[in-house]
């Protein structure tokens, strides 16, 4: 099944940010994107991976 392509607006809503943030990620080439004519789309899997990548896990407590 093909990955769903999200608009910049949809990515911003998903991340809880303004549209400026995903546009900056695109400009700085920090996130993968697809250009369809003059439209920019971001694969859903890329957004999911972006959210998980910087996640900080809790430390195991040593007793």
| CA count, 13 A, side-chain hemisphere, 23 | 5
The whole-number pLDDT of residue 16 equals 95
Residues across the chain:
63
The whole-number pLDDT of residue 57 equals 77
The whole-number pLDDT of residue 28 equals 94
pTM exceeding 0.75: yes
* Strands, E assignment, 1-63: 5-6, 34-36, 39-43
Residues of the chain with pLDDT under 50: 1
The whole-number pLDDT of residue 31 equals 93
What per-residue string of b and e applies to 34-45 under the rule 16 or more CB within 10 Å gives b?
eeeeeebbbbee
| Sheet of strand 34-36, all strands in order from the earlier edge strand to the far edge | 5-6, 39-43, 34-36
């Amino acid at each position: 099944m093909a990955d769903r392509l999200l608009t910049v607006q949809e990515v911003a809503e998903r991340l809880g940010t303004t549209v400026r943030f995903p546009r900056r990620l695109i400009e700085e080439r920090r996130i993968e994107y697809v250009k369809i004519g003059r439209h920019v789309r971001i694969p859903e899997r890329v957004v999911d991976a972006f959210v998980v990548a910087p996640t900080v896990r809790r430390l195991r407590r040593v007793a």
